């Protein structure tokens, strides 16, 4: 009886004295850090980015950050610029404390490093050179329209897809965002990159840097906030007091 009680009690005492074995014991890492001291990439990404960019960088409504081609296309300085100060012409807000956001420079560095570590892949373009990232030249609208009709319209002019030329859409997406998505594509929703512009991503003739610049310039010419704001405000569907 007594031996039994000791046999029962001993493991309990050891478990308690060993502290760290019982589920209730607290690890140092469980202590909540000050918000600005959080430097873990996953915590930062999951609380600040994933609502728009998708869990694990995929399937969000905004740019697919988990696309290795995107990661290869954009350099650190540019990423830092967009994260810190926001991206003009889009909904991407400024996250740096210096711009009214909540993140320190160290946290932004941690996010960039984390994205690189998680989502970058070596030699993702397989030797091919993609068009340059920045849309810093103005292309030719006429040529852009022709290229669009030849290379993009077969999918984007289908009834359910045609809104890529809708003024409302283009008003909300800047030239740079259009360029990035034409070059890098969206692997998560089956949208091809610049080199695989056939349906289903089958290899086709790559778009040249000039083609991309021209298409973006053409789409930009369709952007017309005035056309959107001309839409009348709906009349009250119900009578209101």
Partner 1 sequence: MPGMKQTGKRIYDWFEQRLQVEDPIKDAVLHKVPRNTASWWYVFGSAAFTLLMLQIVTGILLALVYVPSAAEAWNSLNILNHQVPLGWFLRAVHGWGSNFMVAVVFIHMAQVFLFGAYKFPRELTWTVGVFLLLMTLGMAFTGQVLRFDQDAYWGLGIGVFILSRVPWMGGGLVHLLLGGPTIAGATLSRFFALHVFVIPGTLLFLALVHVWMVIKLGINEWPMPGRLVRKSTYIAEYNQLTHEDGIPFVPGAFWKDLIFSAAVLAAVGVCAAVFGPSGPGGQPDPSITQTVPKPDFPFLWIYAVLSYLPPSMETPFILIAPIVMIAGLLAVPFVASEGEKSWHRRPVAVLALATIAVGWGVFTHLAMSTPWSPHMSAWSADTLPVEYLREATPLVRQGAVIFQAKQCRNCHSIGGHGGERGPALDAVATRMTPDQMRYKVVTGGGNMPAYGKNLSPAEIEALVSFLETLHPKGEPPAFDASQQAAQSNAVPAGGSNTP
Q: Which residues bind partner 1 (CB under 8 A)?
A: 16-17, 19, 22-28, 31-32, 34-35, 46-52, 54-55, 59-62, 90-93, 102, 160-164, 166-169, 171-173, 189, 225, 228-229, 231, 233-237, 240
Token code pair at residue 37? 């001291």
Minimum CB separation from partner 1 for residue 165, in Å? 9
Please check whether residue 98 is in contact with residue 84, taking contact to mean a CB–CB distance below 8 angstroms. yes
Strand segments (E) across 81-229? none
d(CA 18, CA 25): 10
Minimum CB separation from partner 1 for residue 177, in Å? 10
Minimum CB separation from partner 1 for residue 17, in Å? 7
Closer to partner 1 by CB, 38 or 124: give it: 38
Closer to partner 1 by CB, 173 or 209: give it: 173
- The dihedral region occupied by 86, where left means phi > 0, alpha psi between -120 and 50, and beta the remainder, is left
Minimum CB separation from partner 1 for residue 72, in Å? 23
Token code pair at residue 164? 């890529």
Closer to partner 1 by CB, 13 or 205: give it: 13
d(CA 212, CA 219): 11
Instruction: Name the CA radius of gyration of the chain, rounded.
Output: 26
Closer to partner 1 by CB, 77 or 233: give it: 233
d(CA 175, CA 129): 21
Minimum CB separation from partner 1 for residue 118, in Å? 16
């Amino acid at each position: 009886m007594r031996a039994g009680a000791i046999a029962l009690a001993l493991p309990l005492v050891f478990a308690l004295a060993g502290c760290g074995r019982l589920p209730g014991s607290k690890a140092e890492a469980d202590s909540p850090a000050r918000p600005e001291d959080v430097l873990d990439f996953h915590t930062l990404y999951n609380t600040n980015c994933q609502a728009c960019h998708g869990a694990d960088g995929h399937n969000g409504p905004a740019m697919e950050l988990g696309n290795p081609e995107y990661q290869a296309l954009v350099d650190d300085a540019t990423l830092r610029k967009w994260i810190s100060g926001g991206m003009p012409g889009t909904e991407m807000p400024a996250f740096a404390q210096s711009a009214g956001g909540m993140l320190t420079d160290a946290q932004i560095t941690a996010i960039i490093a984390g994205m690189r570590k998680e989502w970058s892949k070596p030699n993702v373009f397989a030797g091919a050179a993609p068009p340059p990232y920045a849309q810093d030249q103005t292309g030719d609208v006429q040529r852009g329209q022709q290229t669009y009709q030849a290379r993009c319209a077969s999918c984007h002019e289908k009834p359910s897809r045609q809104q890529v030329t809708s003024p409302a859409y283009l008003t909300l997406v800047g030239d740079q965002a259009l360029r990035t998505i034409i070059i890098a594509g969206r692997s998560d929703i089956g949208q091809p990159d610049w080199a695989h512009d056939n349906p289903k991503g089958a290899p086709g003739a790559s778009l040249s840097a000039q083609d991309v610049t021209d298409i973006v310039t053409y789409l930009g010419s369709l952007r017309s906030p005035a056309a959107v704001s001309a839409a009348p405000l709906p009349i009250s569907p119900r009578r209101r007091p």
